[in-house]
Structure 1
Amino acid sequence: MGVSECEDLFPSGFSDQPWLMQLHGGSETQEFMDPYNRCIVERNIPQFTGKLCLGFYKNWLLLADKLTKETFFLHRTLDPKLKVCLPSLRSVSFNYLGGCVISSSPASKKCVVSFVGRRRDFILYCRPKLNVRWTKVSLSIHDSENPDDQHRFTGQVVRFKGKIYILHGSLVAFRVVVINEDSLLNGDCSWTIIQMPNRIDGWYHLVVSGNDMFSVLVATSNLRRGLPATCTVHRLETSDQTWEHVESIGGCVFFLGGIQNSALTATQAGTQRDCIYVVNQNYGFLHGEGVYKICMQDQTVSLCLSLKKPIPTEWICKLCWLMPTRVNRSSKGKCKTLSFTHSIGSYKSDGTHVHKKEEKHNIDISRPWADLPVELVQLLFSRLNLVDCLRLSSICKAWNSVSSHIQDAMAYPWLMYSTNDSCSWRFFDPIHGKEYFIDTTWLGFGKNLTFHYSKDGWVLASKENKYLFLINPLTREFISLPAPDFDINRSTAMSLSSSPANSDCIVFVVFFNDLQVLEISTWSHGEDEWNKLSFNNEFGYCMPCNPVFTSGELYCYKFNGELSVYNPTKKTLQTFEIKAPIEMVVGGDRIIQCHFMESRGDMITVFRERAKDRLRIFKLDRPQLAWREVFGVEDVTIFLNHKTSLAVPCPEKRCRDLIYFSGFADEHLKSNASYTVETNEYYPEDCYHIREPMNCIWVEPRI
């Protein structure tokens, strides 16, 4: 088959950029997924019919017949002459077969193909040109610290400098088993253990890039329904086999998930540098199946490919990243830049976005500002935002006396987030379309913090899973909390009863110790340690959103949609006979996205099943103990986030019936994504355009 004929079978541009391929094994069609143009293309390639892809080496694909289990290498030109047969895999179940590593070109006699087990501790290897059968080596790996450990290979493996690195653990890998390839071939298989840098719920990926190997932890959160919540990258120091945390991947691009991980330079990939494309690993269990793009520089995540057909639950239906065979200098055009206008805009009642034109005014500056009556200056405070009020009081001495009226300024929620490229926190004011930066050097450890909850201008944050503290980023007030006796990263939810400036403030941390026990830890002013209470886990395995404190009690959604309340005075936890207004679990395993908040004594909940579905809003009717759906929120503006959602009095007419998300509507992070309740319209219309900082939270600026 000629090269041109081969290219006609594949999608256009197949050789110029990375593609994600899925071979079903039982279907005549194959799916090719383009993460740049966000499309899925189906093709009928006879050579792939009934086949599974088990691995690849440069231009060679390792395929297996799903029925006969015959295994062979096939060149990407599909030339039948370029086919290398391997021994059959009849004695092995595909469900227990993990990833593979290939030492060199299949055309070479030195080529070694090694498979690792999945949920089993074994290695299969053969030399395609020399062996007529696979050699199976069973390993007995125990953790000296946990001798009863029942963990197995996760199925992820890479080859790096003549050694095989295999992730080992349960669903979350805790260590890497390192095997010298020569010792494996000589029949004297020995190994060493490298502990992973963090133990956080999420997915570890190993990837080789040039002369370095990296571990990438894409952590998830119960509150984000399985979507990427954080991304932490470490580089392996080969001299002492330790991990070093890095904030950059050297200008490269990683493609993770599926059967093998790959790394390219940004030029080879034809896209933005320091980015990670990762396949969501839920396999249909939770929301969020798709490919996500994580930008290391600004720590944002965006959906770049939604899998319309959910990833099959069978492990054998494997996804495979295919790398480009040539560098197309014009391929950067495939990574389209979004064309949103960055001017400050307002919303009409019909949901359309209107941009204001800049107007030039001639200002008479012949009279000094100090001549303006102080009484008039005081009236301005209630009409200006917080930052403009601070600037106003500093214009002249005569106006310093009115600085006490700053609390009258319009202070509506700002989106607070952090990035890797600076020692500052960023704040975005969605009402006025302005961004502010606050230096964190005064704190001493302002970088790499994790935000958990906010209340009245204060933020509950943590550092390195060891320290938990309260901070007011505007006033620079800081309250250190006792060392936690629980795992911060595994806590399900956190909340505050009131501003930490109040003596009666209580910090709540909800944690599931196991499937049977729910723990609630609390801290109050003056206490030197956390107070912990344990309850039988009839509460539900996890919560769909952060709890809300109101009227002296902490209200929480259970996993099954019931509403429970914890009374910190009586130390009791009870369930109300109030069901969620809609089923929170759909089809037995898909979880509805839920947000929970309080506004002027009203309990408000917002539901959404999928990205483009209509938002449904409910208020709690306390006397009737029932949720009532509302179809407008003209008196409040809602700000949604998986950690803290807020409903505040409507700041301006243009913000009526408006709901802001904690994601941005453009590549340059200049305007928030939003939803108009009256018209059920999203801005932007396409959810692919939304970029959300992974570590962000809504904060009400208070001074």
Structure 2
Amino acid sequence: MSMEIAKEKAENQTWRDLPLELLISVMTNLEIEDNVRASAVCKPWYEAAVSVRITDQPPWLMYFPMSRNSYEFYNPSNSKRHTKELPKSLAGSKVRYSKDGWLLMCKSISTDFVLFNPFTMDLVVLPDLELWHGYQLVGFSCAPTSSDCVVLIIKDYDPGHVTIRTWSPGETTWTSMQVSSQFLDAKRNYVVFSNGLFYCFNLRNSLAGFDPSLRTWNVLDISPPVCPDHIDDESWYEGKFMVGYKGDVFLICTFGNAEPLVFKLDLTLRVWVKKENIGSLTIFGSINSCESRTYVHEGLLRDSIYFPKLCDNENRCVTYSFDEGRYHPRREHNVNWGKQPSSENIWIEPPENALELI
């Protein structure tokens, strides 16, 4: 081949002529929204984009019957339900937080916390809190099987002070610190661990961050999300959910049967940015646990939020689709919760071998 022909061929090459290996390398580093856009360019780009997409396993829905001596899983991928007995030591306990397939639990008349894996039945008993009643925010960073696990419990022990206690695997006591702060005013457990920080949200729409490695607590100078004119103050303070996804933090605000509002935290601009939709994300929201996924099982909707029930007088799973602009019951997931309070329903991440364990 002459130099002239080779030069002309090189000049006529387009992006679609890139080798498949190079295309795959590029697609691997794209965010999901960009991956979807790139897949529409041409057939080679579509093949490369689809080849690196990972289908996330959706979380399972978990609830406790009124007897509180057992619990039930619901797998939204196949609409099947599975029941297991609680360990006797946990009978009557309530879930306070869920992450990485583990539950942080305690009994209402006790401050003895435990970490429990309802799939493997593994149990980690945390040190006694010495009758430290009145905690308001609780959470943990990751599964206790990791040395990076940090359990966080916060309360306003004295007026004008916030008391923070943490525990990590291998420790025999809680580590405690007290800081001057007027932050806490929380009825729900708004805690998300993201980028090495615990983000905590309160009813006054203030946001604070706790860094477990530096042991620092800061009420962040973040402009609160803007309340729409048609929403009354009481509704604005209730019905919120916080969830993280790959370093991002989202706030979902619900108002009965009205359209939910979604805000994304922008730390650079120090503001909550209202989103018209959530793109390829699917969010699973409940009071004590929120999960987020992309490329979920094809039977589930993207750009949607799944709720165990919208309010206590509902009796089955409800989905809000931003694409359709409406709520609708998921008939294919027709789980009748009866009079079960919505606070008793928890989204939980199942292990890959969940079906073998149940």
- Structure 1 residue identity aligned to 2:281: V
- Structure 1 residue identity aligned to 2:267: R
| SS of aligned partner of 2:220 | strand
Residues 1:469 and 2:118 aligned together: no
Residues 1:613 and 2:262 aligned together: no
Partner in structure 1 of residue 273 of structure 2? 628
CA displacement, residues 295-344 of structure 1 (integer Å, 9 cap, x when unaligned)? xxxxxxxxxxxxxxxxxxxxxxxxxxxxxxxxxxxxxxxxxxxxxxxxxx
Q: Please, which of 336, 347, 350 is the counterpart of residue 701 of structure 1?
A: 350
Residue pair 1:449, 1:462 contacting (<8 A) in 2 also: yes
Residue pair 2:311, 2:342 contacting (<8 A) in 1 also: no
- Structure 2 residue identity aligned to 1:696: N
Q: RMSD of the alignment, in Å? A: 3.1
Partner in structure 1 of residue 61 of structure 2? 415
Partner in structure 2 of residue 485 of structure 1? 130
| SS of aligned partner of 2:183 | coil
Q: Distance in 2 between matches of 1:677 and 1:606?
A: 13
| SS of aligned partner of 2:170 | coil
| SS of aligned partner of 2:147 | coil
Q: Please, which of 217, 224, 232 is the counterpart of residue 580 of structure 1?
A: 224
Residue pair 2:55, 2:294 contacting (<8 A) in 1 also: no
CA displacement, residues 444-502 of structure 1 (integer Å, 9 cap, x when unaligned)? 224211001111101111134142100111111111100113545x3212111111110
Partner in structure 2 of residue 433 of structure 1? 79
Partner in structure 1 of residue 34 of structure 2? none
Q: Distance in 1 between matches of 2:312 and 2:221?
A: 43
Cα 1:678/1:501, change in 2 over 3 Å = same
Cα 1:616/1:508, change in 2 over 3 Å = same
Structure 1: gaps (5+ residues): 1-407
Q: Please, which of 215, 219, 231 is the counterpart of residue 571 of structure 1?
A: 215
CA displacement, residues 396-449 of structure 1 (integer Å, 9 cap, x when unaligned)? xxxxxxxxxxxx996321121111347421111234322111232xx2224211
CA displacement, residues 134-172 of structure 1 (integer Å, 9 cap, x when unaligned)? xxxxxxxxxxxxxxxxxxxxxxxxxxxxxxxxxxxxxxx
The alpha carbon displacement at 1:557 in A equals: 1.7
Partner in structure 2 of residue 600 of structure 1? 246
Residue pair 2:227, 2:236 contacting (<8 A) in 1 also: no
Q: Distance in 1 between matches of 2:185 and 2:66?
A: 33
Partner in structure 2 of residue 662 of structure 1? 308
TM-score by length of 1: 0.38
Q: Distance in 2 between matches of 1:662 and 1:642?
A: 10
Q: Distance in 2 between matches of 1:446 and 1:533?
A: 29
Residue pair 2:282, 2:304 contacting (<8 A) in 1 also: yes
The alpha carbon displacement at 1:543 in A equals: 6.0
Cα 1:449/1:649, change in 2 over 3 Å = same
Bigger fraction of residues in strand: 1
Residue pair 1:662, 1:692 contacting (<8 A) in 2 also: no
Map 1:24-35 onto structure 2 (within 5 A): none
Residue pair 2:56, 2:295 contacting (<8 A) in 1 also: no
Q: Distance in 2 between matches of 1:430 and 1:418?
A: 17
Cα 1:577/1:668, change in 2 over 3 Å = closer
Equivalent pairs counted in the alignment come to: 289
Structure 2: gaps (5+ residues): 1-53, 331-337, 354-358
CA displacement, residues 179-217 of structure 1 (integer Å, 9 cap, x when unaligned)? xxxxxxxxxxxxxxxxxxxxxxxxxxxxxxxxxxxxxxx
Residue pair 2:225, 2:272 contacting (<8 A) in 1 also: yes
The alpha carbon displacement at 1:696 in A equals: 2.7
Residue pair 2:69, 2:92 contacting (<8 A) in 1 also: no
Partner in structure 2 of residue 529 of structure 1? 173
Cα 1:640/1:525, change in 2 over 3 Å = same
Partner in structure 1 of residue 237 of structure 2? 591
CA displacement, residues 13-54 of structure 1 (integer Å, 9 cap, x when unaligned)? xxxxxxxxxxxxxxxxxxxxxxxxxxxxxxxxxxxxxxxxxx
Partner in structure 1 of residue 192 of structure 2? 548
Q: Distance in 2 between matches of 1:586 and 1:538?
A: 24
- Structure 2 residue identity aligned to 1:701: P
Residue pair 2:192, 2:242 contacting (<8 A) in 1 also: yes
Cα 1:684/1:467, change in 2 over 3 Å = same
Residues 1:517 and 2:166 aligned together: no
Q: Distance in 1 between matches of 2:314 and 2:238?
A: 30
Cα 1:421/1:677, change in 2 over 3 Å = same
CA displacement, residues 335-368 of structure 1 (integer Å, 9 cap, x when unaligned)? xxxxxxxxxxxxxxxxxxxxxxxxxxxxxxxxxx
Bigger fraction of residues in helix: 2
Cα 1:541/1:424, change in 2 over 3 Å = closer
Cα 1:581/1:663, change in 2 over 3 Å = same
Cα 1:529/1:586, change in 2 over 3 Å = farther
Q: Distance in 1 between matches of 2:340 and 2:284?
A: 16
- Structure 2 residue identity aligned to 1:447: A
Q: Distance in 2 between matches of 1:658 and 1:473?
A: 27
Q: Distance in 1 between matches of 2:113 and 2:322?
A: 37
The alpha carbon displacement at 1:558 in A equals: 3.6
CA displacement, residues 369-419 of structure 1 (integer Å, 9 cap, x when unaligned)? xxxxxxxxxxxxxxxxxxxxxxxxxxxxxxxxxxxxxxx996321121111
The alpha carbon displacement at 1:524 in A equals: 0.8
Task: Using CA pairs under 8 Å that are at least 6 residues apart, name the structure with larger relative contact order, 1 or 2.
Answer: 2
Q: Please, which of 540, 559, 564 is the counterpart of residue 203 of structure 2?
A: 559
Partner in structure 2 of residue 639 of structure 1? 284
The alpha carbon displacement at 1:539 in A equals: 1.1
Q: Distance in 2 between matches of 1:563 and 1:586?
A: 21
CA displacement, residues 538-578 of structure 1 (integer Å, 9 cap, x when unaligned)? 21433654211111111112432232111122222112221
Partner in structure 2 of residue 502 of structure 1? 146
- Structure 2 residue identity aligned to 1:413: P
The alpha carbon displacement at 1:580 in A equals: 2.0
Cα 1:595/1:668, change in 2 over 3 Å = closer
Q: Distance in 2 between matches of 1:588 and 1:632?
A: 25
Residue pair 2:287, 2:343 contacting (<8 A) in 1 also: no
Residue pair 2:244, 2:292 contacting (<8 A) in 1 also: yes
Residue pair 2:95, 2:104 contacting (<8 A) in 1 also: yes
TM-score by length of 2: 0.72
Map 1:143-542 onto structure 2 (within 5 A): 411-421=57-67, 423-440=69-86, 443-463=87-107, 464-487=109-132, 490-542=134-186
Q: Distance in 2 between matches of 1:664 and 1:624?
A: 32
Cα 1:586/1:522, change in 2 over 3 Å = farther
Cα 1:614/1:482, change in 2 over 3 Å = same
| SS of aligned partner of 1:578 | coil
Q: Distance in 2 between matches of 1:589 and 1:679?
A: 24
- Structure 2 residue identity aligned to 1:650: Y
Q: Distance in 2 between matches of 1:664 and 1:549?
A: 25
Same amino acid, percent of matched pairs: 25
Q: Distance in 1 between matches of 2:102 and 2:307?
A: 20
Residue pair 1:616, 1:629 contacting (<8 A) in 2 also: yes
